[in-house]
Amino acid sequence: MHFTGTVWRPPYEADSLLLEVTAGCTHHKCKFCTLYDDIPFPFKMSPMQDITSDLLEIQTLYYHPMTSQANKLTGQPQREGFKRAFLTGANPFVLQSERLLKIAARIYEYVPTVKTIGCFARITDIKQKTEEELLALRDAGYTSLTIGMETGDTDALQFMNKGYTAQDILEQCKRLDAANISYAFFYLTGISGAGKGVFGATRTADICNQLHPKLIGANMLTIYPNSELYQEIQRGNWKEEREVEKYQELQVLIKRLNIPVQFAAMGASNAIPMYGSLPQDKEKLLMTLEHIITQIGEEQLREYRTHLRHL
């Protein structure tokens, strides 16, 4: 299989067939981001022949009759077919619709058990597609996307160079709602900076409450020395929230969300993993956060962050 650098995928895509159709990020400018620094170029589109050869490899490994016989003879469990594919790279949804449709057709040709396809998308990737294209992509199996919205706080989005505003999130995700393409948001706790966590969470809840994300996954800002944000801090232009403020920010976000949505804080950047369905698990999540703030406290939480070598 062709994989370039670290492969990032959401936790809920663990059972999906991972297929590299892009590597890196077309934007590559967010000040806090070091995710794709281990590859020697900002962005690359995989040649169709590499995608096809990866699909052929999967077909041979999982679906060839010889493989099934070999598994029987050696007592290995029979592998179930993949039901879903996840296209890797920071924003494969940036690809032209025509190419995304071609990739979908190629996946179904080689791995016919796959019924749906997901990938990361930037808000700007959605903006460049027409309503007709979104509908065609939905029909071709692009049923759900994962979007790093980060926050509904436009000042923070602009400072961090995200390349879009809260209003853009609202407009583009409403278009996804209309095309019946579902989406999960990644929220970046701490992105607003010291003293502004509550404001950021409030603005984010205001945006989310007007949309239909199926999940809000919170990651906590962890600043690495090779990031532009680290340099901004050294220059005195930005100040990180204390760890406790980040958890208070999550409390406000959860309190203010009034839509039915899954909430998860599961990645390595969260010292204590949390998961629940809103609104029914609201009190349970709030109690967990209160416990973290009052019983664990700043020192231990900071210790966790300081020793987090890799996200």
Cα–Cα distance, 165 to 153 (Å, whole number): 8
Asked if residue 122 binds ligand SF4 (CB under 6 A), the reply is yes
Nearer to ligand SF4, 8 or 63 (CB): 8
Q: What residues does 262 pair with on adjacent strands?
A: 215, 277
By rule CB under 6 A, what count of residues binds ligand SF4?
A: 11
x/- mask, ligand SF4, residues 171-190, rule CB under 6 A, reads: --------------------
Q: In the numeric block, which tokens belong to residue 29? A: 């400018």
Tokens 């700007």: give the residue: 124
> In the 8-state DSSP scheme, what is residue 220?
E
Contact of 81 with 62, CB cutoff 8 Å = yes
Question: At its nearest, how many Å lie between ligand SF4 and the CB of residue 36?
Answer: 6
Residue nearer to ligand SF4 on the CB measure, 118 or 148: 148
Based on CB atoms, which residue is closest to ligand SF4, 16 or 26? 26
Residues between 8 and 47 with contacts to ligand SF4, criterion CB under 6 A: 25, 27-30, 33, 35-36
Helix (H, G, I), strand (E, B) or coil at 120: strand
Does position 90 interact with ligand SF4 (CB under 6 A)? The reply is: yes
What is the spatial distance between Cα 92 and Cα 143, in angstroms, rounded to a whole number?
14
For the segment 138-167, give every residue that binds ligand SF4 (CB under 6 A).
148
Q: For ligand SF4, which is the closer residue by CB, 34 or 251? A: 34
Give the span between the Cα atoms of 62 and 54, in whole angstroms: 12
How does DSSP classify residue 13?
G
Which residues bind to ligand SF4, rule: CB under 6 A?
A: 25, 27-30, 33, 35-36, 90, 122, 148
